[in-house]
Structure 1
Amino acid sequence: MDRPVNPGAAVDRIVALFEGMTPEHVRALDAYYTIDAWFKDPFNEVRGLPAVQRIYAHMFEALDAPRFTVTARIQQGSEVFLAWDFRFGFRNFRRGQEQLVRGGSHLTLAPDGRIASHRDYWDAAEEVYEKLPVLGNLMRWLKRRAAS
């Protein structure tokens, strides 16, 4: 992928990947991320395709039926923002209960349309920690204290 591509077409491809991602896609992420891609979310900050692949592989190992639905997109040249819903199940508790995280991703595209940087924005405290036993009680208490 050496030649410049239409950024709109590249975003369509990326959205299709996120919405249809399976464990098999993890091995083929070099078609979507540059070799030195940077990735950051509330739990990780990594550089390089192998590290990005490990994050996605871990997602499929740790969660039941993880899937993204892109709900909005904003694009200006090589800068892209995707709003999304992430649905999954926990494997260790609340089995069978679907979880929902709402967030967004800021992507910067390389000239060939692959992702050069990917930063996810979502509230880990509200979306994950509050749903965990013990820690959830503490997080809800802290939230109430901060609001009073």
Structure 2
Amino acid sequence: MTPIQLKLQNFYTSLSDEALNELSEIYSPDIEFVDPVDSHKGLAQLTTYFSRLLSHCHTCKFDFHGYDNCGQKLFIRWTMYYAHPKLKNAHPLSLDGISELHIRDERVYYQRDYYDMGAMLYEHIPVVGAIIRWLKRRLSQ
């Protein structure tokens, strides 16, 4: 495991407000972080994003299932475990995803996360979730 892989794994498996101090060791000052919700440019925006995420979730941690290196690119398969007070009465939920990271000088300067927003959010909202589950059943027939 490379040093940056180890830093990423340590950060995301114990994600907390205290861990936010480690962001500058993992991400470059000009980081571009993109996920299905939004994009964040620069370390200050990324820190704000993680701070908000952690203030709204009861829990949020990741398990990494594998790494694929391709030159200065790293792909990580992961599962996020989270509990949010407005989703399923704060019951624990999980979400699988993949991250594409571009590395320069042992820091990430670009990260794009790929995951299913429906599985993360929409399916857990009472009325919307029922409609999405119905649509999925219809499409799978």
Whether the TM-score (by the shorter chain) exceeds 0.5 is: yes
What are the superposed Cα offsets for residues 73-127 of structure 1, whole Å, 9 maximum, x if unpaired? 11123210111110011213433521001111111111x2111001101111133
Structure 1 partner of 2:45: 51
Matched residue, 1:63:
57
Amino acid at match of 2:107: R
For residue 122 of structure 1, the aligned residue among 115, 121, 132 is 115
Q: Among residues 67, 74, 85, which one is paired with 1:80 in the alignment? A: 74
- Give the secondary structure class of the aligned counterpart of 2:30: strand
User: Unmatched 5+ residue regions in structure 1?
Assistant: 1-6
One of 115, 129, 132 as aligned partner of 1:136: 129
Q: TM-score, normalised by structure 2?
A: 0.90
Q: Give the residue type in structure 1 aligned to 2:76.
A: L
Question: Which SS does the other structure have where 1:22 is aligned?
Answer: coil
Q: What per-residue deviation string (whole Å, max 9, x for no partner) do you get for residues 31-79 of structure 1?
A: 1111110011110112111111122111101111110111111112321
How many residues of Structure 1 are paired with residues of Structure 2 in the alignment? Answer: 141
Q: Distance in 2 between matches of 1:126 and 1:87?
A: 12
SS in 2 for 1:141: helix
- Runs of at least 5 residues in structure 2 that lack an aligned partner in the other structure: none
Equivalents in 2 of 1:56, 1:64: separation in Å? Answer: 13
SS at match of 2:62: strand
